């Protein structure tokens, strides 16, 4: 059976010396394809390079809510350009995370909603991160998401 890891941050610098070993172990377990979601605009190049250098790795580009303080309005415009030019497999990692604080609540919502709209524009699924914002994320997904995806870091109910 072939398995796909839909969420693996193999672009993390901590894997630079052992990425091939991690991929070999995954293959032994039957995981032959891995989706590598970006977290910030400054990681998009690294995700692109890691995926280009290794068969079976597929990029996703997004703006992760845990790094909300790093995201700027210009990054949304740049993300639009990346999605059009690079043809990733998904938009993400995106979402809403109120676990630590709700200080950037409005900005997180805006970032998530705009990434939902970009996913629709490019007919792409989403990689969604959500903590302490389940009702809001579900509501936004029901209203706006058109191409499916995966949700992780989920602390919601089975519904």
pLDDT tier for residue 123 given thresholds of 50, 70 and 90: very high
pLDDT tier for residue 152 given thresholds of 50, 70 and 90: confident
User: Does this model's pTM top 0.85?
Assistant: yes
pLDDT tier for residue 23 given thresholds of 50, 70 and 90: very high
**pLDDT > 70? residue 154:** no
The separation between CA 158 and the C-alpha centre of its own chain, rounded to angstroms, equals 22
Give the mean model confidence (pLDDT) for residues 127-149.
95
d(CA 17, CA 7): 20
pLDDT tier for residue 100 given thresholds of 50, 70 and 90: confident
Tokens at 39, concatenated: 């977290």
CATH topology of domain 37-152: TIM Barrel (3.20.20)
d(CA 24, CA 20): 6
Domain positions in the chain are 37-152
Tokens at 47, concatenated: 């995700």
pLDDT tens readout for residues 101-116: 787 899 999 999 999 9
């Amino acid at each position: 059976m072939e398995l796909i890891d839909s969420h693996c941050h193999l672009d993390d610098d901590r894997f630079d010396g052992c990425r091939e070993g991690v991929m070999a172990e995954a293959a032994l377990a039957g995981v032959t394809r891995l989706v590598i979601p970006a977290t910030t605009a400054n990681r998009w190049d690294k995700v692109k390079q890691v995926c280009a250098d290794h068969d079976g790795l597929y990029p996703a580009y997004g703006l992760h809510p845990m790094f909300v303080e790093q995201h700027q309005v210009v990054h949304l415009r740049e993300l639009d350009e990346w999605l059009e030019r690079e043809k990733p497999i998904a938009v993400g990692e995106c979402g809403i995370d109120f676990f630590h604080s709700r200080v950037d609540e409005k900005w997180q919502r805006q970032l998530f909603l705009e990434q939902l709209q970009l996913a629709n524009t490019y007919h792409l699924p989403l990689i969604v991160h959500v903590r302490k914002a389940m009702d809001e994320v579900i509501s936004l997904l029901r209203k706006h998401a058109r191409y499916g995806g995966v949700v992780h870091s989920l602390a919601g109910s089975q519904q």
